[in-house]
Amino acid sequence: DTPRILVTGGAGYIGSHTAKLLRLEGLEPVTYDNLTTGNRSSVRWGPFIEGDILDSAHLIEVIEHYAPDAVIHFAASAYVGESVADPAKYYHNNVCGTLSLLDACRRTGLGKVIFSSSCATYGVPAALPIDEATRQEPINPYGRTKLIAERMLSDYAAAFGLSYVALRYFNACGADPEGDLGEWHDPETHLIPRALMAAAGRIGKLEVFGDDYDTADGTCVRDYIHVADLAQAHVLAYRLLAEGGANLALNLGSGRGFSVREVLSAVGAVTGRDVPVAIRPRRAGDPPVLYADARLAREVLGFSPLYSDLETIVRTAAPFFGLEAR
């Protein structure tokens, strides 16, 4: 009897990588996605249902039909800049969408939820590294919508007996080490894919958003975590819920911070290409330094990142931009 997992947003970047690993681990991913940002061709490891999480009646039908043991809820809008320009979209998709899903879970008795949260819920942290007890004071609508969804989960858990794990991703990056899936955002705003596009000559210069931060080389520092490692954490979170544990939030990071310049050097070293750069002003809403205290996920889940060194990250991502790793 293969356990089934409903995967909202399973046609997206992190969702599709997770669906592949679920299948390899003997679980059946059932993808529910409206394909506004996901790709139908990324759904290859289980059934696909086209639908919107705001459509609670459709969700209830799908849950009753497939009787999943848990849901992994990736479906969301995820551009910080866009969330400032169009907060309505973010409150609808991320807050109302999550509420719609939780209500469908409640109606059908689906009691286990794994949720995609973000380090964006911390805002500019008072201290580093960022542990899970750090005050969550998001500085943009995207981060606020993820925080509200976390609060909904804990309130539903207390009142209705739902159990959940909220996973706070740091900077997701890299691609399937076997080459089956890559990172396909449109528009692409993330540093590593843009650096690879610049190295491949597809977009002029890579714009570095600020080199006057109070960091070692003046550029922002982030904690880059490989998407295949994120996938592993979701499988482990499901196992924890299946054993009756949880109702907690966990950081998913490598625990190490790298500056924009360090990332660009890694892209240059792995691809053998120069990354042409142009220094630009700071990007609004960018915290200077973010990196995780990543110990809790190790302790609670046994999470152990295998791919989250910069070289492996760039090596797995490069082929999707027509570049060979050296």
Binding footprint of ligand UFG on the chain (CB under 6 A): 78, 80, 118-120, 142, 171, 189-191, 194, 206-209, 220, 222, 260, 283, 286, 290
CB 235, min distance to ligand UFG, A: 22
Alpha carbons 9 and 31: distance in angstroms, whole number: 7
Q: Tell me which residue of 153, 314, 318, 129 sits closest to 247, measured CA to CA.
A: 153
Sign of CA dihedral 246, 252, 254, 256: negative
CB 101, min distance to ligand UFG, A: 19
Smaller CB distance to ligand UFG: residue 78 or 267? Answer: 78
DSSP states along 190-219: -HHHHHHHHHTTSSSPEEEE-S-SSSTTSS
Alpha carbon 15 to chain centroid distance?
8
CB 167, min distance to ligand UFG, A: 13
Smaller CB distance to ligand UFG: residue 203 or 300? Answer: 203
Helix, strand or coil for residue 242?
Answer: helix
What are 83's two structure tokens? Answer: 């969330």
What single DSSP character describes residue 122?
Answer: G
CB 122, min distance to ligand UFG, A: 8
CA distances from 77 to 100, 184, 192, 265 (A): 15, 14, 20, 30
CB 324, min distance to ligand UFG, A: 23
Smaller CB distance to ligand UFG: residue 27 or 227? Answer: 227
Give yes or no: 224 in active site: no
Smaller CB distance to ligand UFG: residue 63 or 149? Answer: 149
Of 13, 32, 66, 142, which is the active-site residue? 142
Strands 163-169 and 48-50: unpaired
Smaller CB distance to ligand UFG: residue 79 or 303? Answer: 79
Catalytic residues: 142
